């Protein structure tokens, strides 16, 4: 040790506080550290690993970032679009609106399907949360939240409860009873408490846990019964706007997107941020996992949607057109993952071929921004919620199986 370090006293600017002071010149592993005695004491109290200084950490940061870039580049041997040239071309789609759900008095901000594939919960700017039977368009339940801008709502896996929240900074769970006249608000349970607005919520595999995202920059996992915080997830440097849980077969992770333009993948148990993607140019409004769990799509205010492959650790496709100039608010995949439905602020829904990167349909009908879009659990329909106060349920219009053409051969599905 003694032959590794030696002290010499000089006067000059401290590396840490920049004040002109008598400096303790220390050499740790041949790297010079010129700290004043005060900063030297602080460093000792901080318990820095030997050799760590702001300079060395910044240098290591740069090295690691370059290494990450190189690794990702090395594996970028081909574009998804190129590989997908071999895939069958999609025929013309014929999406038809089957139901229009009217009843909200203000902008619909969020919606979710029940696992029974027929019920839908939706929430709006005026604080109303409505449970619909999408087959009959009847309203089964309605509750008025003590807050406006209910930006998040979710159906419990059992179908027996809903969760919602917004400007109240909380996520509340309402058990749904079979008695339609019962006062839902009476049984309300406050589960999550954030320090800013609730932007997203979802139940995990059971009714017992809820995952939330918030304008306070964090996501959190809560126990519904006790309201206890089980895990929190820190890493975004601005509002977290969206989250999606990985399909249950692929393990315990979720992805979140934020105003910091980043999409982060998290381990539910450890709270660790395991992967990060920052290629978007603006806020990420929505993230959704690809059905296999190996990738996820994002929708952003930069008017593009993108596909990120988790095993390749990079963006593999971008869904955009010069003619699309408005932000994308919400995305979801069809059952096979071949189609990506995206709702935009220009009132349209664009349907993309996920593999080839081309747009296969534009859907009109909403009279204001499309704020929320979800495919039903069995993939037979998708529902879109809009600032025009309505929700629309749409399906592929051909009554029988469509033809798929593959290089001249016609296949009947």
Distance separating the N- and C-terminal Cα atoms of the chain:
75
Select from 24, 33, 99, 260 the one that contacts another protein (CB under 8 A).
Answer: 99
Between 208 and 312, CB nearer to another protein: 312
For residue 212, give the nearest of 166, 243, 174 by alpha carbon: 243
- Is position 78 an interface residue for another protein (rule: CB under 8 A)? yes
Q: Minimum Å distance from CB 110 to another protein?
A: 21
Select from 23, 90, 156, 176 the one that contacts another protein (CB under 8 A).
Answer: 90
Between 27 and 135, CB nearer to another protein: 135
Select from 182, 223, 278, 378 the one that contacts another protein (CB under 8 A).
Answer: 378
Select from 126, 140, 216, 294 the one that contacts another protein (CB under 8 A).
Answer: 294
Task: Tell me the two tokens of residue 173.
Answer: 């769970």
β-pair partners for 21? 12
Angle of CA points 307, 310, 316, to nearest 5°: 35
Q: Minimum Å distance from CB 294 to another protein?
A: 6
Task: Tell me the two tokens of residue 128.
Answer: 């109303």
Within positions 200 to 229, which residues make up the interface with another protein, using CB under 8 A? none
Residue with token string 């009714």: 207
Within positions 130 to 169, which residues make up the interface with another protein, using CB under 8 A? 134-135
Rounded to whole angstroms, how far apart are CA atoms 102 and 72? Answer: 48
- Is position 237 an interface residue for another protein (rule: CB under 8 A)? no
Select from 26, 98, 141, 175 the one that contacts another protein (CB under 8 A).
Answer: 98
- Is position 379 an interface residue for another protein (rule: CB under 8 A)? yes
Between 38 and 185, CB nearer to another protein: 38
Select from 100, 195, 282, 292 the one that contacts another protein (CB under 8 A).
Answer: 292
Q: What is the 3-state secondary structure (H, E, C) of 178-195?
A: CCCCCCHHHHCEEEEECC
- Is position 281 an interface residue for another protein (rule: CB under 8 A)? no
Q: Minimum Å distance from CB 305 to another protein?
A: 15
Within positions 318 to 377, which residues make up the interface with another protein, using CB under 8 A? 334-339, 354-355, 375
What backbone phi and psi angles, to 5 degrees, belong to 282? -155, -175
Select from 309, 318, 359, 368 the one that contacts another protein (CB under 8 A).
Answer: 309
Sheet with 138-144, edge to edge strand ranges? 108-113, 119-124, 128-133, 138-144
Q: Minimum Å distance from CB 316 to another protein?
A: 6
- Is position 240 an interface residue for another protein (rule: CB under 8 A)? no
- Number of chain residues interacting with another protein (CB under 8 A): 83
- Is position 48 an interface residue for another protein (rule: CB under 8 A)? yes
Q: Minimum Å distance from CB 107 to another protein?
A: 25
- Is position 118 an interface residue for another protein (rule: CB under 8 A)? yes
Q: Minimum Å distance from CB 190 to another protein?
A: 32
Judging by DSSP bridges, how do beta strands 240-245 and 229-234 pair with one another? unpaired
Rounded to whole angstroms, how far apart are CA atoms 104 and 109? Answer: 11
Angle of CA points 228, 229, 234, to nearest 5°: 175
The helix (run of H) or strand (run of E) holding residue 307 is strand 305-309
Q: Is 215 helix (H, G, I), strand (E, B) or coil?
A: coil
- Is position 16 an interface residue for another protein (rule: CB under 8 A)? yes
Residue with token string 């008017």: 303
How many CB atoms sit inside 10 A of residue 85's CB? 10
Q: Minimum Å distance from CB 57 to another protein?
A: 4
Within positions 382 to 401, which residues make up the interface with another protein, using CB under 8 A? 382, 393, 395-401
- Is position 26 an interface residue for another protein (rule: CB under 8 A)? no
Between 274 and 325, CB nearer to another protein: 274
Select from 23, 39, 263, 297 the one that contacts another protein (CB under 8 A).
Answer: 39
Select from 13, 51, 65, 205 the one that contacts another protein (CB under 8 A).
Answer: 65
- Secondary-structure breakdown of the chain: helix, strand, coil percentages, each rounded to the nearest 5: 10, 45, 45
- Is position 57 an interface residue for another protein (rule: CB under 8 A)? yes
Rounded to whole angstroms, how far apart are CA atoms 61 and 286? Answer: 29
β-pair partners for 352? 340, 359
Q: Report the sign of the C-alpha dihedral through residues 309, 313, 317, 323, in that order.
A: positive
Residue with token string 């309203």: 139
- Is position 83 an interface residue for another protein (rule: CB under 8 A)? yes
Rounded to whole angstroms, how far apart are CA atoms 178 and 68? Answer: 54
Q: Minimum Å distance from CB 150 to another protein?
A: 26
């Amino acid at each position: 040790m003694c032959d590794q370090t030696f002290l010499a006293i000089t006067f000059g600017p401290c590396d840490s506080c920049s004040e002109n002071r008598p400096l303790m010149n220390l050499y740790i592993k041949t790297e010079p550290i010129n700290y004043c005695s005060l900063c030297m004491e602080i460093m000792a109290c901080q318990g820095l690993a030997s050799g760590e200084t702001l300079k060395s950490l910044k240098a290591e940061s740069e090295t690691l970032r370059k290494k990450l870039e190189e690794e990702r580049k090395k594996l970028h041997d081909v574009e998804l679009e190129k590989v997908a040239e071999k895939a069958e071309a999609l025929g013309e789609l014929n999406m038809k609106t089957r139901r229009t759900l009217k009843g909200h008095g203000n902008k619909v901000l969020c919606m979710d399907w029940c696992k029974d594939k027929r019920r839908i919960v939706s929430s709006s700017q005026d604080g109303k949360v409505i449970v619909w039977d999408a087959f009959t368009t009847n309203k089964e339940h309605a509750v008025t939240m003590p807050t406006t801008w209910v930006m998040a709502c979710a159906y419990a896996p059992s179908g027996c409860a809903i969760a919602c929240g917004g400007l109240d900074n909380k996520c509340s769970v309402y058990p749904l009873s079979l008695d339609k006249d019962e006062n839902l608000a009476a049984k309300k349970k406050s589960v999550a408490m954030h320090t800013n607005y609730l932007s997203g919520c979802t139940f995990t595999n059971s009714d017992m846990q809820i995952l939330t995202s918030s304008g306070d920059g964090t996501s959190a996992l809560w126990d519904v019964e006790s309201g206890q915080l089980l895990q929190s997830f820190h890493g975004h440097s601005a509002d977290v706007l969206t989250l999606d849980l990985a399909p249950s077969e692929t393990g315990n992770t979720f992805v979140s997107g934020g105003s910091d333009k980043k999409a982060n993948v998290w381990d539910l148990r450890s709270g660790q941020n395991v992967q990060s993607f920052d290629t978007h140019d603006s806020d990420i409004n929505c993230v959704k996992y690809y059905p296999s769990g190996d990738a996820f799509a994002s929708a952003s205010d930069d008017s593009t949607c993108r596909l990120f492959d988790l095993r390749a650790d990079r963006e593999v496709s971008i869904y955009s057109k010069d003619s699309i100039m408005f932000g994308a608010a919400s995305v979801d995949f069809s059952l096979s993952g071949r189609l990506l439905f995206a709702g935009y602020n220009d009132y349209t829904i664009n349907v993309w071929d996920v593999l080839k990167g081309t747009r296969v349909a534009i859907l009109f009908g909403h009279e204001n921004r499309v704020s929320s879009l979800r495919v039903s659990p069995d993939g037979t329909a998708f529902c879109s919620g809009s600032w025009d106060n309505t929700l629309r349920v749409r399906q592929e219009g051909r009554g029988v199986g469509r033809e798929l053409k593959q290089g001249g051969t016609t296949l009947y599905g």
